[in-house]
Amino acid sequence: MYKMNWDAALNQSRGLIGIGGLIRDSKGQVLGFLRAKRSLIVSPFVAEAYAMMMAVLFYKEAGFQTIIFEGDSLQVVERMHKSKGDWSQGGLIIEDTKKVLEDFVSWKFSHTKRDSNMAAHELAKNALLSDQDLYVLEEIPSCIRHVVQLKVL
């Protein structure tokens, strides 16, 4: 079983969102990460929903089929579990993400506290400072190495 943590960071004054995602195996070892920045003026809920969608797409492109997605946005996680449609901007992103998940063998969404999501949060904050998106397998970026090493010990 694999786990992917995701998070978003907002810089509303510049109209930017940073997106971070981290794939780990059952032993906590990092298998890959994503770090991306988008020019979007959105609410925190929409930013988290968009970051979640990007994490799902990255995971799918990496070729994995079974996953637990973990994020610190309770609102997004709860809406992933609901079958009733939400026609807000964030709700539509969630509905689109559910369509992508139809190709997966098994998936689950789980809420976690910010303390347990620090690596994804640091990636998202770091993305705000970066000029390029990164979608990488089998590496740990330097901006989260200290957080990841603490988790494994």
What is the reported pLDDT for 143? 85
Cα separation, 151 vs 149, in Å, equals: 5
What is the reported pLDDT for 133? 94
Q: Report, in angstroms and rounded to the nearest whole number, the Rg of the chain calculated over CA atoms.
A: 14
DSSP states along 30-99? EEEEEEEEEE----HHHHHHHHHHHHHHHHHHTT--EEEEEES-HHHHHHHH--S---SHHHHHHHHHHH
What is the reported pLDDT for 7? 97
What is the reported pLDDT for 145? 85
The reported pTM is 0.91
Burial tier of 130 (Cβ tally within 10 Å: 0-12, 13-18, 19+): middle
Domains identified in the chain, total number: 1
What is the reported pLDDT for 153? 40
Residue 18: closest CA among 118, 130, 148, 147: 130
Q: Domain with 143 in it: what CATH number?
A: 3.30.420.10
* Domain region containing 136: 3-152
pLDDT, block means (10 residues), the chain with 153 residues: 94 95 91 95 94 96 91 95 85 94 93 93 96 91 80 50
What is the reported pLDDT for 28? 86
Reported as type and span, the H/E element at residue 19 is strand 16-24
What is the reported pLDDT for 65? 86
